Amino acid sequence: GMLITGFILRNVDAINVVRHIEPSWASDLRSMALILILIRAGLGLDATVLRNLGGACLRLTCCPCLVECAAVAVSARLLLGFPWLWGTLLGFVLGAVSPAVVVPSMLWLQSEGLGVDQGIPTLVMAAASFDDVLAITGFGVVLGIVFSKGNLAWNIAKGPLEAVVGLLFGGVVGGLLWFLPSAQSGQRTTLRPVLLLLAGLCVMFAARRVEFGGSGPLGCIAVAFVAAFRWTKDQHGAASASETCALLWEVFQPILFGLIGSEVQIKDVVSDGTLLGLGVLGISLTLRMATSFLVVYGASLSLKERLFVAIAWLPKATVQAAIGPVALDYARNLGADDRTVSLATQVLTVAVLSILVTAPIGAAAIALSAPRLLRRSAKSLDPANGRAVTEPDEEDVNMSVL
């Protein structure tokens, strides 16, 4: 519903209010909402489960993304006539899962106690952040080759370096939050969520400032994860931060999805290559889901639970909205030829289609399949500290993104 509302506000001339929003403001608001999502993901990670599922997490991070990228490159060449490099570029655009859809869904699973004993929410949330870094890194490398921007060796090495820097920086900042505010502070419980959010903002925008964009998302998760590791030992320590972030998410959720929907323009969707683009998307998603199902073999999950992981690995939105238009911007700014501009426009069109198709369908599929495919724990759990919580509202169960 929020995506559609944003789409309407962009494309109905009589109420096109989106044109009054500065693109830089929209980008910053999307980043702030993403920071909140990533902090909630960090608070929801279970260190013990993550340690036990490390191998499955790595496989889920790399294999589906790379398989989808290869599938897109081949199908785009056959169906759309893309050169191999442009097909690979499109593959990395489509290869990232959407944390904006997946993380709130996994937090809902934790509150419902669905799949918690098997570690499914932690597995999916942890892998989602690394999956995005892999896709964005691959995109940056191929973009540099296509437009001959920068040193190729540096472009390749920068991705892993960003991941390491993000984890280290986030871990250090999270460690500082063990001691801030001081134990003598009477407002400790109130100040902790504020400091955590400020730390997330600092990490994300500092990474962007030094052009290490891939470090930001991982850094935000690391800040929350490391801070919560200590806070859970205090009474209401991590719980207060989790509750505050949940309340703020109610404010930022419509902003994020409304802005993503507003990125979609009818002229980008209604084009000659739309049906062929849907064909590329269908082929790649089929192979992605099959790969996701296979790579979690050996993680002590049943067939139904592996099927759910494959479904949860479907939605796309945030990353596609962020990097989908980048190639077109480069082509226009560099005064590229008509063929290059046309290819970049098709990349944007398929990215838009992936958002429209997978974000609502993926969110609905997660919400509807979870009670049928996952085992319920003895009691519902608070994602922050594992304590029992009350049942969520019906609105949460319905996943208000729909």
pLDDT in tens, 42-66: 776 767 766 776 788 889 988 999 9
Residue 402 belongs to some domain of the structure: no
- Look at residue 126 and tell me if it is in a domain: yes
Residue 397 has pLDDT above 60, yes or no: no
pLDDT one-digit tens code per residue, 300-319:
888 999 999 999 999 988 77
Task: Tell me if residue 81 falls in helix, strand or coil.
Answer: coil
In a domain, 168, yes or no: yes
In a domain, 65, yes or no: yes
Whether the pLDDT of residue 94 is over 90: the answer is yes
What pLDDT does 141 receive? 74
Tally the domains of the chain: 1
Q: pLDDT at residue 81 above 80?
A: yes
| Residue 246 token pair | 């949940």
pLDDT for 304 equals: 92
**What is the arithmetic mean of pLDDT over 13-42?**
73
Contact 155, 212 (CB under 8 A): no
d(CA 351, CA 196): 33
Residue 244 confidence class, pLDDT cut points 50, 70, 90: confident
Report yes or no on 7 lying in a domain.
yes
pLDDT tens, 344-386?
888 888 888 888 889 889 989 999 999 999 988 765 545 444 4
161-165, 243-247, 260-264: least confidently modelled range: 260-264
**Residues 237-260: what's their mean pLDDT?**
73
Is residue 201 assigned to a domain? yes
Q: Is residue 97 part of a domain?
A: yes
Flag whether pLDDT at 216 surpasses 50.
Answer: yes
Indicate whether this model's pTM tops 0.75: no
Q: Is 388 helix (H, G, I), strand (E, B) or coil?
A: strand
The per-residue pLDDT for 101 is 84
Q: Which CATH number is 278's domain given?
A: 1.20.1530.20
Q: Output 151 or 203, whichever has higher pLDDT.
A: 203
d(CA 384, CA 232) in angstroms, rounded, equals 8
Query: Partners of 388 in the beta sheet?
Result: 381
Q: Which residue has the higher pLDDT, 391 or 51?
A: 51
Mean pLDDT of 224-247: 72
User: Is 282 inside a domain boundary?
Assistant: yes
Residue among 252, 259, 363 nearest 5 (CA): 259
User: What is the reported pLDDT for 294?
Assistant: 93
Domain of residue 209, residue span:
2-397
CA distance 94 to 362: 14
The predicted pLDDT at position 401 comes to: 36
Both structure tokens of 35: 């920071």
Task: State residue 151's pLDDT score.
Answer: 67
Q: Are 397 and 367 in contact (CB under 8 A)?
A: yes
User: Is the predicted pLDDT of residue 398 greater than 50, yes or no?
Assistant: no
